[in-house]
Amino acid sequence: MADTKKALAAFQKNRFHGGDDDNNSNYNNSNNSSRHTFDENKVDFSNTPPKSQCHPSSILDEIHGYWQDQENVTLLRRLTGFSVTEIRRLFLNFKSLCSMSETPYGITYHTFCNAIPTFTFEDPLFSNRVFEFFDTCERGLWRWEEYLLCMALLFKTCRVLQTFFIFKLYDVNNDGTISKDEMCHFFIKSLTVEVDAHLLELCETHINALFKRIDEDDDGEISLEETLLYVENHPEIEDIYGVFGRTIVLPNLKHDKDQENIDDDSGGKEKDDENQETEYEKWKRINEMEEVAPTHSERDLKLFKAIKQGKIDLNTLWEQLKQSICVGTNRYARERIDEELNGKKIKRGERNNL
């Protein structure tokens, strides 16, 4: 048994620390392990990719805690639309991404662009806008809360918030409107081919058609109110991001209207038990549903109405959502990360020293 433990220790030493005795002595110091890891992984930017590395799970557990440390999973489920199983899977995936980042305290921009499948093939302009949208503290990395919010906005949340999200990304100068120049800039950057005069003409045609559909007052700019009105009047739109030419939502993550009113897991189970059906009945029900005119979710309908009545400000709603997410996650881990990263920063989109 002793020989087995020694062999395992030697393997872990070579696996995580590459045989560096100085690094091992610091990693074995439980009081300073996290700080040492952070300091040793200061980002050294160059034109070459970063050196492959993997932070050990013990360090990640010490920093981010465990799944059972989440303070209110039920709240997280209701805020994001994910099931408990999906949130748990996202948490484990988040820690895996942290293990590949330059620092184990969060997901850095480089890892975000190269390890999250949704953004692997996105252009740098769009990826950087998404990253900075959630990196409100401008530290150059995402904590668990930012990662969960991003996944919810992309795949599960209501259409109103998705519209707000994509509009904010394209409103580069933050003046409350999207100009044709801003839209054209994003469209051209998303292309993977050399831009010539013919392609520019196609781009202009596409943008003019888009503005003709959304720009109600025909002033040459799209406002958030006009975009929301367009989405409200077209409930058949399944991919909100596709309105602006983005296809970043997976096709199998459509909104499930049958689940939107289920408040807890037990309620959903009882409903399933009460509605046993044969394969034919299930096929018939699905086909009948496909023939029904598309409608918005109940939550979207309430939000559209409240916005028109001036009862809800989306910027305020967004801030409340971020605060509520923090209520449901691990407060101790979040406070420790904030304290450790105080005054330290990794530039978004490029590498430089902290």
Measured CA to CA in angstroms, residue 142 lies from 108, 184, 279, 347 at distances of 7, 29, 44, 12
Mapping DSSP onto H, E and C, the string for the chain reads: CHHHHHHHHHHHHHHHHCCCHHHHHHHCCCCCHHHHHHHHCCCCCCCCCCCCCCCCHHHHHHHHCCHHHCCCHHHHHHHHCCCHHHHHHHHHHHHHHHHHCCCCCCEEHHHHHHHCHHHHCCCHHHHHHHHHHHCCCCCCEECHHHHHHHHHHHHCCCHHHHHHHHHHHHCCCCCCEEEHHHHHHHHHHCCCCCCCHHHHHHHHHHHHHHHHHHCCCCCCEEEHHHHHHHHHHCCCCCCHHHHHCCCCCCCCCCCCHHHCCCCCHHHHHHHHHHCCCCHHHHHHHHHHHHHCCCCCCHHHHHHHHHHHCCCCCHHHHHHHHHHHHHHHCCHHHHHHHHHHCCCCCCCCCCCCCC
Mean pLDDT confidence for 3-7? 51
- Residues 45/46/47/48 CA torsion (nearest 10 deg): -90
- Of residues 293 and 315, the one with the higher pLDDT is 315
Confidence category of residue 66, pLDDT binned at 50, 70, 90: very high
* Cα–Cα distance, 304 to 312 (Å, whole number): 9
> Cα 105–109–115 angle (5° rounding)?
90
Residues 217-273: tens digit of each pLDDT: 889 899 999 999 999 999 888 888 888 877 664 434 444 444 444 344 444 444 444
Q: What is the pLDDT of residue 318?
A: 93
Tell me the CATH architecture of domain 49-158+316-349. Orthogonal Bundle (1.10)
* Cα–Cα distance, 247 to 118 (Å, whole number): 10
Residues 286-306: tens digit of each pLDDT: 666 555 556 788 889 999 999
Total-model pTM: 0.71
Measured CA to CA in angstroms, residue 9 lies from 16, 19, 22, 67 at distances of 11, 11, 16, 26
CATH of span 159-250: 1.10.238.10
- Of residues 278 and 49, the one with the higher pLDDT is 278
**Would you say residue 197 has pLDDT above 60?**
yes
Residue ranges, comma separated, of all CATH 1.10.238.10 domains in the chain are 159-250
What are the φ/ψ torsions at residue 265 (nearest 5 degrees)? -65, -35
Confidence category of residue 157, pLDDT binned at 50, 70, 90: confident
Tell me the two tokens of residue 191.
């292309």
